[in-house]
């Protein structure tokens, strides 16, 4: 299998890309709760300054974080599907 086939999207990789961040967040929240730390499940409204530079940095950081999360979760999904296919062939 070459890199192109490894990264080629299919329904299993896309589903894993969506589910992996969800489960990471849920397990992390349960860990925090078990440690006695209060977790806010709903996003709190944050104060956003009217300064355009601050808003640009905030949005740029969010977009970069989102793209990085998608990239890592898709790569992990590709690896999981590849391992599953290898084990299934044996």
Q: 66-85 pLDDT, tens per residue? A: 777 888 889 999 999 999 99
Residue, of 90 and 59, whose pLDDT is higher: 90
Pairwise CA distance, residues 58 & 18, whole Å: 23
Q: Which of 80, 87, 62, 83 is nearest to 12 (CA)?
A: 80
Task: Report pTM.
Answer: 0.68
**Confidence tier at 48 by pLDDT (50, 70, 90):** very low
Residue 43 has pLDDT above 80, yes or no: no
Residue, of 12 and 53, whose pLDDT is higher: 12
Are the CB atoms for 29 and 41 separated by under 8 Å? Answer: yes
Percent of the chain with pLDDT over 70: 70
Residue, of 46 and 89, whose pLDDT is higher: 89
Are the CB atoms for 76 and 16 separated by under 8 Å? Answer: yes
């Amino acid at each position: 299998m070459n890199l192109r086939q490894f990264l080629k999207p299919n329904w299993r990789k896309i589903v894993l890309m969506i589910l992996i961040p969800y489960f990471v967040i849920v397990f992390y929240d349960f860990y925090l709760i078990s440690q006695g730390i209060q977790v806010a499940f709903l996003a709190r409204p944050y104060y956003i300054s009217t300064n355009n530079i601050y808003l640009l940095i905030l949005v740029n950081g969010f977009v970069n974080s989102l793209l990085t999360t998608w990239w890592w979760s898709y790569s992990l999904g590709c690896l999981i599907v590849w391992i599953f296919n290898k084990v299934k062939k044996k």
